[in-house]
């Protein structure tokens, strides 16, 4: 690089750094991000964060995630009133959906939300948000696709989990040796393969691997010895995988393809929501945000630990999970107020935890349960479990998504691709979920073009069968 070009690049980097430090951060997240049907309400969630610095700088005429216009000024130390307005389409009074006021001092963050009913709205819609403080104005917007349907669900998969290395060698026997060798280029191939079948939500599986369980470890006394999937400065252990930083490669490709990525916070220990686990999760979330928060595809947070549908086997464990999410949500909202928190539980034994769901869900933005097609004997039916969880989420203002299992177990306990008819049956049997994800893409769905064929011919076949279902609306047996 020529010296003059290097000096210019350094000057621009310094300008953007200073601007990021001194400008309010306005961001908008649509939950779900779409496509959606005309039978739901989309949450348009705004995050507004003020800098600690005493002044702001004039911004460019168009900038993401927020745009600022108006004169530079000096920010007083006391709280100021900001007016937030949501518009459908252009930012004019006839298009106004609603407005709220927030009061913020320097260094503070606020979350504000509006629910937009999609009824009688089809096609592409743009939600705009305008934030005003005195003469200063900032703007941001997001676009969403709305499809006509008699159901809340689109009847299609919207995204998938992507584990970087399966936690169980037995379950991952058919692809674990290959997935460990995935290079940055091959992770990018996987993101592109997801995008080709309209899987635009990607949930990364883990940030750390630690095969311990709640109540059966001594982490607080002996220290945390899990291994990171990315270059963490918190803990020295590293997973033995080919890519030095698969998160960076995946997020960068997701930026290019318009995917929405849930960043994984975990694993501390399975089913562990103790105070020690909370402190660890807060540390890791902060590091992930500082390393990867600049990516437009960074959509939300996934708490990895999972839990049964009873939310814990004892009242004490149930109290722990409520307190965990109360504090964790508050922490990540200080980092990025607009980004949702997701928990994947199973849907079994939920009658034992009705009161706990009512306490938990105000602090868990998205509940994404799995296992509806394999309910235990004597439990609710899958449909009954879905209805009950939907009511809990509606009462709390939370979102209920579905984690559809695209695998079966072979005689050795290994996961292999579920035949396409099982996927279609679940998509048709459970039409009330506003968004349906699947577990998982690597090893179970493989594009023919991918240079590393995770899961072999059966995974390629499921990918092709799902492509045919998308294009023709039928399964191979029809």
pLDDT at 341 over 90: yes
Q: For residue 432, give Cα distances in angstroms to 116, 151, 301.
A: 18, 6, 24
CATH T-level topology, domain 23-147: Immunoglobulin-like (2.60.40)
pLDDT value at residue 90: 80
User: What does DSSP assign to residue 346?
Assistant: B
Among 242, 364, 355, residue whose Cα is nearest residue 305: 364
Average pLDDT, the chain: 90
Neighbours of 423 (CB within 10 A): 23
- Is residue 123 within 8 A of residue 41, CB to CB? The reply is no
pLDDT in tens, 359-398: 999 999 999 999 999 999 999 999 999 999 999 999 999 9
pLDDT tens-digit readout, 314-333:
999 999 999 999 999 999 99
Give the N- to C-terminal CA distance of the chain in Å, as an integer.
59
Q: Among 20-34, 74-88, 159-173, 422-436, which stretch is predicted with the lowest mean pLDDT?
A: 74-88
Give the residue range(s) of CATH 3.20.20.80 domains in the chain. Answer: 159-472
**Max intra-chain CA distance, the chain:** 74
- Please enumerate in sequence order all residues whose Cβ is within 8 A of that of 414, keeping only pairs 6 or more positions apart, or say none: 170, 171, 172, 173, 174
- The whole-number average pLDDT for the span 91-99 is 89
**Residue of 245, 340, 226, 368 lying closest to 284 (CA atoms):** 226
Where does CATH 2.60.40.150 sit in the chain? 23-147
Report DSSP letters for 361-391, one per residue. GGG-SEE--B-GGGPPTTS--HHHHHHHHHH
- d(CA 231, CA 239) in angstroms, rounded, equals 10
Quick: pLDDT tens for 465-477.
999 999 987 544 4
Beta strands 96-104; 80-88: pairing state: antiparallel
pLDDT value at residue 78: 79
The predicted structure's pLDDT at residue 474 = 53
Please report the pLDDT score of residue 473 as a whole number.
Answer: 74
Residue 233, phi then psi, degrees to nearest 5: -90, -5
CA–CA separation, 411 and 413 (whole Å): 6
Do 163 and 209 form a contact (C-beta atoms < 8 A)? no
pLDDT digits (tens, 9 = 90+) for 205-247: 999 999 999 999 999 999 999 999 999 999 999 999 999 999 9
According to the model, what pLDDT value does residue 91 have? 72
pLDDT tops 60 at residue 107: yes
191-204: average pLDDT: 98
Q: What confidence score (pLDDT) does residue 288 get?
A: 98
| Domain 159-472 belongs in CATH node 3.20.20.80 | yes
Per-residue pLDDT at 93: 83
Q: pLDDT confidence of 77, banded at 50, 70, 90?
A: low
- Look at residue 4 in the predicted model and tell me its pLDDT: 33
Task: Give the DSSP H or E segment for 321.
Answer: helix 315-335
354 pLDDT more than 90: yes
Residue 53 is predicted with a pLDDT of 61
């Amino acid at each position: 690089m020529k010296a003059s070009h290097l000096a210019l690049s350094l000057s621009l980097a310094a300008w953007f750094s200073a601007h990021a430090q001194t400008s309010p951060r306005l961001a908008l997240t649509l939950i779900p991000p779409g496509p959606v049907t005309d039978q739901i309400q989309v949450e348009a969630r705004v995050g507004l964060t003020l800098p600690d610095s005493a002044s702001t700088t004039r911004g460019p005429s168009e900038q993401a995630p927020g745009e600022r216009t108006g004169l530079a000024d000096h920010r007083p130390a006391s709280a100021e009133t900001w007016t937030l307005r949501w518009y459908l389409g252009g930012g004019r009074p006839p298009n106004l959906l609603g407005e709220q006021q927030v009061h913020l001092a320097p260094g503070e963050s606020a979350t504000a939300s509006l629910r937009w009913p999609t009824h009688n709205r089809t096609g592409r819609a743009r939600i705009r948000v305008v934030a005003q403080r005195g003469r200063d104005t900032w703007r941001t917007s997001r676009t969403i696709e709305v499809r006509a349907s008699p159901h809340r669900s689109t009847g299609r998969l919207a995204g998938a989990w992507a584990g970087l290395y399966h936690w169980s060698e037995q379950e991952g026997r058919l692809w674990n040796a290959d997935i460990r060798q995935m290079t940055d280029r091959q992770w990018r191939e996987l993101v592109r393969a997801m995008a080709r079948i309209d899987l635009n939500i990607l949930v990364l599986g883990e940030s750390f691997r630690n095969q311990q369980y709640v109540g059966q470890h001594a982490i607080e006394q002996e220290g945390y010895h899990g291994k990171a999937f990315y270059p963490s400065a918190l803990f020295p252990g590293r997973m033995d995988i080919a890519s030095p930083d698969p998160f960076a490669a995946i997020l960068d490709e997701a930026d290019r393809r318009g995917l929405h990525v849930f960043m994984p916070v975990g694993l501390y220990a399975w089913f562990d929501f103790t105070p020690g686990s909370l402190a660890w999760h807060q540390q890791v979330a902060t590091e992930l945000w500082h390393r990867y928060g600049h990516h437009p595809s960074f959509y939300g947070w996934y708490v990895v630990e999972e839990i049964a549908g009873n939310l814990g086997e004892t009242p004490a464990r149930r109290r722990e999970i409520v307190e965990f999410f109360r504090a964790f949500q508050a922490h990540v909202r200080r980092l990025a107020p607009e980004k949702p928190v997701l928990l994947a539980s199973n849907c079994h034994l939920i009658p034992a935890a009705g009161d706990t769901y009512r306490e938990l869900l105000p602090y868990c933005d998205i509940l994404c349960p799995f296992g509806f097609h394999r309910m235990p004997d004597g439990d609710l039916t899958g449909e009954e479990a879905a209805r009950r969880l939907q009511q809990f989420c509606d009462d709390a203002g939370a979102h209920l998504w579905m984690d559809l299992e695209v695998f079966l177990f072979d005689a050795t306990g290994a996961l292999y691709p579920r035949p396409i008819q099982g996927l279609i049956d679940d998509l048709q049997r459970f039409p009330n979920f506003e968004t349906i994800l699947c577990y998982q893409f690597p090893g179970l769905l493989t594009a023919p073009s991918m240079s590393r064929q995770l899961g072999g011919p059966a995974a390629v076949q499921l990918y092709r069968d799902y492509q045919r279902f998308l294009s023709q609306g039928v399964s191979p047996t029809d």
